[in-house]
Amino acid sequence: MCAPLSEEEAAELAPLFKAIADPVRLRLLSLIACRKGGEVCVCELTGAFDVTAPTISHHLKVLKQAGLVVSERRGTWVYYRVNPHLLERLSSLLDPRPLTATSR
């Protein structure tokens, strides 16, 4: 995390953090990211939560619109995977280690 963000970068990144700043979306993201093979059928996601299928669909749509997940329809079902490049960007941004290295 060590060039201070410009106004433009901050304006671009804040909505991504907003998209993950919800407990259901955080759990969806971690369920998708942690799946071996990197892909999860929407049919498996709805069962993992105490909320209705339309609510899960809404949250997946928010993650997708932010670019954090991508989806592909195959036959009856839609399959989700995370966008590793975008997650890595957010992860690096919050990583305090580069700072520590710089200030030594």
CB atoms within 10 A of CB 6: 9
User: Can you give the binding site for its own copies, defined by CB under 8 A?
Assistant: 1-5, 7, 10-11, 13-15, 17-18, 20-24, 26-27, 29-31, 33-34, 36-38, 82, 84, 87-88, 90-97, 99-100, 102-103
Q: Which is nearer to its own copies, 14 or 53 (CB)?
A: 14
User: Closest by alpha carbon to 59, among 102, 98, 21?
Assistant: 21
Indicate the residue among 75 and 94 with the shorter CB distance to its own copies.
Answer: 94
Smallest distance from its own copies to CB 85, Å = 8
